[in-house]
Amino acid sequence: MGYVIAIANHKGGVGKTTSAINLGTLLALTGRKTLILDLDLQGTATSGLGVRKEDQAGLAGMLLEDKPPVDVCRPVYCEDLFVLPLGKQAATIEDEIRKNPLLMEKLESVLDRMAAAWDFVILDCPPTFGLIPNAAIRQATYTCIPVQCEFFSVEGLTAMLKRIQELQTAGGRSPRVGILLTMYTQGDESSDQVRKAVEQNFRSLLLAPIVPRDPILSHAPLIGIPAVLQAPESRGARAYLELAWEVMKHERQETG
């Protein structure tokens, strides 16, 4: 079974998609088959990887039209990296699932099949707890929560952690959660306050790498090439390299 990493936070703009793209690319570069499952209606992970989301049947195509994975998962950059967006029918798919409970079962079995077929599946979650991201988090082996180093970022974090842990327990998994500090600016007061608050209150969950605020990371999606490929020496890329090592370490511990 592959290692499924949900990247989740109900706040928008905290670095979920940036983390999904760069972490996914690095894992694929190690020769492990990696799928980035873009669960956000906005489809920014898909477009950030240079794929036109408007043309894709996506996950909705698998659920509503029985499309096989090979027809909907798009290869990007290197042999081992793929992206799967929600697809053209993304806007209505949750309504369809609500109307037809059998579709929820189908979604769960599709997610299982994905986990079996890839070494790593990265779930780029939307900033909401909808039916699809909830089903995905239930199935995740590990949830990474990016927390932006800005005022108010820690508000609501305890409640969100509880929610994620409940979902993972409901999926029959022992909750495994890590907090990733993002957009950290050295010497900036709000950055340091968030870092201290997380260190004091969530020390055991805090991941070692801290992603700095780095314009390389924010400009990369404009070109559609992940920052870790464009500028591997940049501070932002190096932080994601450290994260990829951590994730591979966790994966080795889980799978023995």
Q: Which stretches of the chain bind ligand ADP, using CB under 6 A?
A: 12-18, 44, 182-183, 211, 213-214, 217-218, 221, 236
**Which of 14, 41, 5 lies closest to 155 in space, CA to CA?**
14
Least Å distance, CB 197 to ligand ADP, is 19
Q: Which is nearer to ligand ADP, 15 or 87 (CB)?
A: 15
Which pairing describes strands 74-75 and 81-84: parallel, antiparallel, or unpaired?
antiparallel
Residue 148 CB: number of other CB atoms within 10 A? 25
Applying CB under 5 A, among 11, 16, 74, 250 the residue interacting with Mg ion is 16
- Characterize 16-37 residue by residue with b for buried, 16 or more Cβ atoms within 10 angstroms of its Cβ, and e for exposed: bbbbbbbbbbbbbbeebbbbbb
The reply to whether 17 sits near Mg ion by the rule CB under 5 A is yes
13 binding partner (options Mg ion, ligand ADP, none; Cβ < 5 to 8 Å by kind): ligand ADP
By CB under 5 A, the count of residues binding Mg ion is 2
Least Å distance, CB 41 to ligand ADP, is 12
Task: Output the DSSP codes for 42-83.
Answer: T-HHHHHTT--GGG--HHHHHHHH---HHHHPEE-SSTTEEE
Least Å distance, CB 2 to ligand ADP, is 22
Give the DSSP H/E element, type plus range, for residue 137: helix 131-139
Least Å distance, CB 55 to Mg ion, is 20
User: Does residue 148 contact residue 185 with C-beta atoms inside 8 Å?
Assistant: no
Of 17-25, 184-192, 194-202, 205-213, which part binds Mg ion (CB under 5 A)? 17-25
The reply to whether 182 sits near Mg ion by the rule CB under 5 A is no
Q: Locate tokens 């900033």: which residue?
A: 127
Least Å distance, CB 134 to ligand ADP, is 17
* Residues found near Mg ion in the complex (CB under 5 A): 16-17
